[in-house]
Structure formats: C-alpha cells, structure tokens
Amino acid sequence: MSNYAAPIRDMQFVMKELAGLDRVAALPGYEEASPDLVDAILEEAGKFAGGVLAPLNFSGDQEGSRWQDGAVTTPAGFKDAYQQFVDNGWPALACDPEYGGQGLPRLVSMVVREMWKASNMAFSLCPMLTQGAIEALALAGSDELKQTFLPNMVSGHWTGTMNLTEPGAGSDLAAVRSRAEPQADGTYKIFGQKIFITWGEHDVAENIVHLVLARTPTAPAGVKGISLFVVPKFMVNADGGLGERNDAWCASIEHKLGIHASPTAVMVFGDHGGATGYLVGEENRGLEYMFIMMNEARIAVGLEGVAISDRAYQQALAYAKDRIQGKDMRVRGGGDVPIIRHPDVRRMLMMMKSQIEAMRALAYVVASALDHAHASPDANDRARNQAFSDLMIPVVKGWCTENANDITSLGVQVHGGMGFIEETGAAQHYRDARITAIYEGTTGIQALDLIGRKIARENGATVKAVIAEMSALDAKLAAQEGADFATIRKALAEGVAAVSACVDFILANFAKEAALVAAGSVPFLKLMGVVSGGWQMARAALAADALLKEGSGDPAFYRAKIATSRFYADHVMPQAAGLARTMLEGGESVLALEEAQF
C-alpha cells in the first residue's frame, strides 16, 4: 500500500502557466486568489488529503458501508473525517459568500477536489453531489428555498443528492414515473422510487437534501413534463432547526464492483403518505435545472478520472522503485535492479504519467474558462468561454474517465501478479475507476452530446475556433530548437488535421445520416481528448522551456515536463490517425449486421 502525496508542483505549474491563474484572480470577485493564498490552500489541502482521507481509502473499501432497517453506517473513520472536513471549511471553498461560502474561483476548487478524489474517491463523492445540488438551487431555487437550505449545505452540515434514475428508466429520463401531487399549502407530496443515488443515506451529516425529478398531474409526456423538487430527509422548522422525519427512506444499498465505502442507495418516497417536496423554479422545467447539476457533476467525474489515475500512478511508481527483479539491460554483469530500470516498465509508467499530465491540464483549462464565463465583465468574453467549456466538458468527462480505466489497469500491470492481489491496493483503483465512464452519462452519451449539441447544432463554430487556436501554436513550436519540439510540432499538426477532417465529416453528414456519424462518435470524442491533451502538453513544453531559459524555478521539473511532452507526442498522439479513420470510414460496418446476426 502506498501513501498519497498531492502532486502540488505539477498542479501549480498547470494553474499558473496553462490555466492562467493570474487572469482568473483579476476577475471581479476573485481578487483574493493571490498566488500566496492559493499555494497555502494547496499545501493544507494536500496535508488533509494525505493525512486524513488517504489512510481511510483501503480500509473503507474493505469494510464498506452497511445498511440496516433503512439506516446506513459508513466505514470506521469516515464520520470523523467528514466532521474534520466541515470544521476546516473545505465544503465552502468555491461557494457564494452570500450563503457562507469563500467565493474562490472554480480553478482553485478544481485543484483541491482532485486531491479529495485521488486520496479517497468514495469519500469525495459526498461533497461532489452536494456541490451539484448547491449549484442547481443557487441558480433556480426561490429566495426562500435558498435561505432555508443553502447555508447548511454550503457549510457541509447538510449534504445533497440528485435523484434522477428509476428502475427501468436508466438514462432515459423521459421514462421517469415518480409523481408530485400539489397540496393546498403550496408544497407537493412526492411518490416514487429512485435508484443509484450516491450518498442517498448515510450517518456523516445531520440532514440530506434530495433533489428529485417527478411529474405533476398536469405534466405533458416525455422530458418536457419533468419538474424538480427539494425533498429533505428531515423537515426544516421556521427557526432553521430540524423537525420531523420526511417520508423519504433508503430501501437498500447496492453491492458494487468498487467504491464500497460510498453508499449507493435505492430511495423510496411516499410509502407512508407522501414525502413533502418543494418545487424548484417552475413546473415542467426540471430537466433544464437538473442539467445544472449534471454539468457540474460531469466535469467533476472527469476530474475523478484524473485523480484516480494519479493515485494508481503513484502506487505503481513506488512499487516499481522498490521491487527488485531482473538485470539492467544497459549494464553488463550487474546485479538485480528495481523494475523501474526495465524498458517496458518505464514505458508503462510514462504512459500513465504523460496522460495524467495532459488530462489534468485540460481539466484545469476548462475550469479556468468556466471562471471567465461566470465572472468576466465582458459579455463577449463570457460567451466565448462558456461555449468553449460547453464543448470541452463532454471531452473531459468521457476521455479522462476512459483513460482512467486504461491507466489504472496499467497500474495493476506494473505490479505484475501482486497487482491482482487485493492487499496491495492496486486492484482497488482499477475497480473504483470503472464507474467513472458510466457516471452522469456513459461515454456514448457524452459523445452524442459532443457531435450533436456541441458541434452540429452550432455548425461547428466553437470547435473550429478551438482548432484555429491549436493551429496557432505551430509557429511557436517551429521557432524552438531541438528534436523534442520538432516531434511535438509534427504530432500536433497531424492531430489537428485529424480533428478537422472529422469535424467536416460531422457537419456534412449529421443532418442526413445521424446514425452513421453516431457510430463513430466515441472514437471522435477520444480523438478530441488525445489532441486536446497534446495541445496542452505542447503549451506545457513551451512554458517549461521558457522558464528554463529564464533560469528560475526547478530545472529538473521543467526538463521532465519537456521529456514527458515528447513522450506524449511519440506514444499517444499517433492514436489520432487511427481514431480519425474509424470515425471517417467505420460507421457502415458498425451498422451492417441485422440484430439476428449478432
């Protein structure tokens, strides 16, 4: 078992050199996010993640959460850790100061949340869902609902959930059958069952605020007839204290492949007369409001892909440095050496390291864009950054989580046979990562969103602007000396050409043959991820080279950044050509067989 040490040096580099922390801190409302304050926050968060959360990761997985008679008990240490989490003010980091938040940029909270997810993914899911519920209430809730629920949710004393899926419905929210009956006092009685509710019941906080999708009696059919309701576990009295138990109960929790410490609940509403709910916003606009939560959750789940990959890499690296086996191929007659000296082990570690750095960079750059979209005083700048983040969120979510499956698998492979043994902990990262490509819309759903809503609907305007920005890097790369930058330049140019060809294909064919385009949508999403990651790695190499020439900072870190970027160009970017060919030429074979031929 390895410890977790937050990769603060790389986080700082990405924030400052790629995501533009200085520009974010210049936005109205974010002025307090000075480099010194941010560095202090990262140091403290790293201590909490490594010292409090990480030691509970393995034990929490082994023990798991337990259900009995409608109540859920989390593993030993989780309740105390959550109390420390609240006492230290971590839930409020990026929340609105009006409700007790600290008002820091999303870029800062993104970095801190990576630490929670890497150190203990099961624990991190609780504040993640709460943050999504806070976002939805803050943007769509009435003033009364905000005042009643947000202060305690922002502080972390109450947690939040999102209740979408029902038995038989899956991702098809048009099939939601839960119902909401209006009452004379303006409230609603909620009846129905929801499944896969992350942290739907637990013992770490005093109240749970469920956001529930349901239909009113007059609702039209389909997704246009869904409304959103606040359904608290305990009612809230006029003085803000907790009242009687609401008719919202946990019927069971799931037995899962991974994240055993995170209770995934089956929630039943209204079995004893109806659960009291409060309408959020207007009737029949629930899906619109829920997408606020889902967008927040999607980028957060993409970050889980980054985080769990980094945890697996740290453990694999520690093992590779410690495990003695075999001879060094470059030393004649030498003794046995750590397996990190073996070329293929180095290749696997570099595949892990380079992709993690590319994923982290892309996620942080999107977080920075969201900050600009929220706080920029210039309307055009807000719109441009919102369009960029909307385009890239399905890429961050889909590409980072698919990579996490591969990277955590490599972590097991580096361990060899010991990776298949639960006691080492490598297998836990592999198991935990598997859900991330399913959460908040599978990779296929993200890919359909990318090609349909984000590219075809706007005739490719935003993606073409991104392609132009990628292409503009060519001149800077061409001005650099040495084989590393020549290789990076060539790989990026080929990757950009592959993306451009696929975008043209989407725009030419989506309206007339959507299924043909959809057949290659996941390969295209991966292509977008690979090339967008290569774009960020090229920027990172340029920034590292400039800092080396200045003679400031850590030269070894900067040289490693350039070498890692070169590795990414050599070993990851070549995937672009194959993914593009699959998108451009592979659709017909996907659709060729009749169902009986499978």
Structure tokens at 527: 């292509």
| β partners of residue 245 | 234
Longest dimension (CA), the chain: 88
- Residues in the chain, how many? 598
User: Which are the catalytic amino acids?
Assistant: 440
| β partners of residue 375 | none
According to DSSP, residue 320 is labeled H
SS3 content of the chain, % helix, strand, coil (to 5): 60, 10, 25
Burial class (CB in 10 A: 0-12, 13-18, 19+), 311: buried
The rounded distance, in Å, linking the Cα atoms of 135 and 292 is 7
Q: Are 569 and 540 in contact (CB under 8 A)?
A: no
Nearest alpha carbon to residue 462 among 375, 376, 522, 395: 395
| β partners of residue 253 | 265
Q: Are 393 and 295 in contact (CB under 8 A)?
A: yes
Q: Which residues of 81-120 are buried (b: 16+ CB within 10 A; e: fewer)?
A: bbeebbeeebbbbbbbeebbbbebbbbbbbbbbbbbbbbb
Which is it for strands 248-253 and 264-269: parallel, antiparallel or unpaired? antiparallel
Alpha-carbon distances of 237 from 148, 232, 241, 245, 518, rounded to whole Å: 9, 12, 5, 12, 50
Q: Are 425 and 431 in contact (CB under 8 A)?
A: no
Which is it for strands 248-253 and 179-182: parallel, antiparallel or unpaired? unpaired
Burial class (CB in 10 A: 0-12, 13-18, 19+), 597: exposed
According to DSSP, residue 463 is labeled H
Alpha-carbon distances of 134 from 35, 301, 347, 435, rounded to whole Å: 27, 17, 42, 23
Evaluated on CA atoms 241, 244, 247, 250, the torsion sign reads positive
The rounded distance, in Å, linking the Cα atoms of 86 and 89 is 5
Neighbours of 501 (CB within 10 A): 15
Please report the beta strands in 339-411, taking only residues with DSSP state E, as ranges in sequence order: none
Contacts of 1 (CB under 8 A, 6+ apart): 58, 315, 423, 424, 425
3-state secondary structure (DSSP) of residue 491: helix
Nearest alpha carbon to residue 454 among 391, 513, 501, 396: 391
φ, ψ at 259 (rounded to 5°): 40, 50
